[in-house]
Structure 1
């Protein structure tokens, strides 16, 4: 008997993210937010991925916290600290980026904020065969209109513009308008993925008897004035002893942590997960922190910072006009105390919190990921998988099976179910697939079935159904048979039944039932009407 060669493992989709030259954590955070969703969508589509980051950010551990690998060069802050000659640093960095992109040879290259690269080096690598994506968040006109900036935009296949309050008027060269796609705010978490108020307060150690809780952030912590600003904030906190203050120092902060009885310091990598613990915040005006706080309904006392590309003053002004916060006047302890006390008045706080939630009602990281993935995968498939990756639906499902499985296992099973029924097609279909997946994981846990056996059973079931569909095209079959696709629940029920009936540890797969004629299979994917007769013939399957 001739040996059968196992099918080759599909090559992974290689995604390379470029987050170089940022002062804070914003560029890296935004790219991680998008790539979390790319990874989820790809898993639901059955596409293996290799997602990597090139960064100069000293907070690159954030990528590792999310299961991504990163390659790092020294930041400009580290350059000053270690005395590295700027010209030598630039020379090394440019060559490093060129070599990395050539060796990794990505299918997708995603760049945030600096289209020509932090050293002008990307001009030489945008024509190496990758699909290039530029995350074009709102940039100050004097930076965006620079000839080099506008020229670099021509090297990108997709210009993804995250809008804030439906605004992002950053200019695009004439003739490139068809490459532009817009989204709303892109965040590292959706509010559905964050901890409830009580759990978040317990996690942060906020005393139950605190009259209010205030979060403090001055960005990533890399600014020279960060230490002096934190000292002023702690002095203001001492004036408000019944209010608990939590200072998010930022991954880049290297200064002192000033003590006070009602002040705690934290360097949690994803602080947004705990934002519902707070009644108000004292915050700079950066893209990520402001929009994350707004999305979680936390009104702010704002102290915007000067940036060459990011217009923090404009962002803060929009929030204030919406009633979601106030601008700090003088940066003194007395001014901070007065502004916070005013914002924490119960009725004022309630209205401002509601305004903040309305200001950023959702997280569009999934939409951004869908646009990007559609450069290499059929858009209809991506949009269908996105129904299953909806954060509220997915996070609720993961909570349901939290003790039994992780996200990767859940997505692997969901992919098999999705493929069996030919897609979600709408929100109801996505909910049905999600519930069926949860049931499958719960019941297989009771049976003591490993994830490998469970996935094997589902794959074999898929092959059985495909065989039935192929047999359906035979001319001897009745062309008048109605082809009704099975529900996810019924498919899962059959897979679980075969596992339960397996006495010797091997997966038992029921023989195919001949489906009616007139059904055509789409290679690599089942259409919504493909699986009918395999389960809806005469009696129960296999009888």
Structure 2
């Protein structure tokens, strides 16, 4: 890369259940300094979403996609492709976001002295397979995106916090980027002056029944206008009359001010967006292999900032929905949400990653300087934790 070219940050994401890995990475990428150029490589079929937000992206089919071949051929093919990409990009830093790092591919992500970072979400289930955590030593640094419900975290990453650089919760958009209620209602085709409810549960066998129950219960109320994202409708079977279908709406957070109530899974991104940006929501805990959605959902109800059910089949679902439709209860939840404060984790991560991407001599000098208010060095604001060191800012101890 020529001396006048922008330094490049390569974001690599695995193929997760939803858009979590990509959304967190794009949240960071949007907040990088102008002298840094973000590029993406993803194993997620949602790669067009990245291109839609203006980022260069290369799609590699995940190992479980049709035509991927056996494990050996998939590994050899993608190891070679990644090596060629990295040699061409010449990244100043590489960030991998995924629960399970592809150990046999990591060597292909290394370029010269560019630090390799693992963005590792916390809130793992206590019974989760922890074998992936022992791959932390394969990275130069571990980044932990904050979670609003971190006080409820009882998972295996809690005991490993000292090896991570911790930042606040991450969301894609800032509040200033949301449309006004009037603009959002107009763009989504919603009738003004009604109580609007957003149903965004995703799809899959375990979710289908919960989606159907939500839509039927809400659509039967004359004072409520129900809108549902296309993925929820796809798994809900016959859709009740009057439900507004929201097709290909990403990011949905841009339209949140149009809604008085939301129904969402308790995954990292949906949860963080609704706690940060509102409105009050019913969180449905989904059964995931590592993500402790039940703990996250329970936390928001105990905080008085929303409602939660333990699973898509929870018999309390309709009753909890009715509570959210009570204007006084909803106003109290809104007030609690407004009182929840946390730093902008994506901005903090972008600043820290930018300093990691500096030439090694400059990065080392930064690591030795205690800059006031610098979340990459000393204490991490909002967490009470100490950032690790010495070495690269936030790098794991040897």
TM-score (norm 2): 0.78
Equivalent position to 2:192, from 194, 208, 224: 208
1:55 and 2:45 matched = no
Question: Secondary structure of the residue that 1:184 maps to in structure 2?
Answer: strand
Aligned partner of 1:297 in structure 2 is 278
The answer (yes or no) to whether the contact 1:127–1:155 under 8 Å persists in 2 is: no
In 2 relative to 1, CA 17–143 (structure 1 residues): closer, same or farther, beyond 3 Å?
Answer: farther
Aligned partner of 1:442 in structure 2 is none
Of 50-59 and 254-263, deviating more is 254-263
CA distance in 2, matches of 1:332, 1:125: 42
In 2 relative to 1, CA 86–353 (structure 1 residues): closer, same or farther, beyond 3 Å?
Answer: farther
CA distance in 2, matches of 1:129, 1:173: 29
Q: CA deviation at 1:96?
A: 3.4
Gaps of 5+ in 2: 367-372, 374-398
Q: CA deviation at 1:241?
A: 3.4
Aligned partner of 1:29 in structure 2 is 23
Equivalent position to 2:181, from 186, 193, 197: 197
Aligned partner of 1:182 in structure 2 is 166
Gaps of 5+ in 1: 1-7, 382-386, 388-543
1:64 and 2:59 matched = no
Q: For 1:144-159, what aligned pairs fall within 5 Å after superposition?
A: 145-146=130-131, 149-159=132-142
Question: Secondary structure of the residue that 1:237 maps to in structure 2?
Answer: helix
Aligned partner of 2:296 in structure 1 is 315
CA distance in 2, matches of 1:232, 1:115: 34
CA distance in 2, matches of 1:173, 1:330: 27
1:111 and 2:96 matched = yes
Q: Highest CA radius of gyration, 1 or 2?
A: 1
Aligned partner of 1:278 in structure 2 is 259
The answer (yes or no) to whether the contact 1:197–1:276 under 8 Å persists in 2 is: yes
Q: CA deviation at 1:262?
A: 2.8
CA distance in 2, matches of 1:116, 1:334: 37
Residues 440-479 of structure 1: CA distance to partner in whole angstroms, max 9, x if unpaired?
xxxxxxxxxxxxxxxxxxxxxxxxxxxxxxxxxxxxxxxx
Residues 274-325 of structure 1: CA distance to partner in whole angstroms, max 9, x if unpaired?
1111111111110000110111121121211111221111111111111122
CA distance in 1, matches of 2:344, 2:7: 25
Q: For 1:88-99, what aligned pairs fall within 5 Å after superposition?
A: 88-99=73-84
Using CA pairs under 8 Å that are at least 6 residues apart, name the structure with larger relative contact order, 1 or 2.
2
Q: CA deviation at 1:234?
A: 2.4
Aligned partner of 1:140 in structure 2 is 125
CA distance in 1, matches of 2:267, 2:229: 14
- Alignment size in residue pairs: 356
Question: Secondary structure of the residue that 2:196 maps to in structure 1?
Answer: strand
The answer (yes or no) to whether the contact 1:27–1:113 under 8 Å persists in 2 is: yes
Higher helix share: 1
Higher strand share: 2
CA distance in 2, matches of 1:28, 1:144: 23
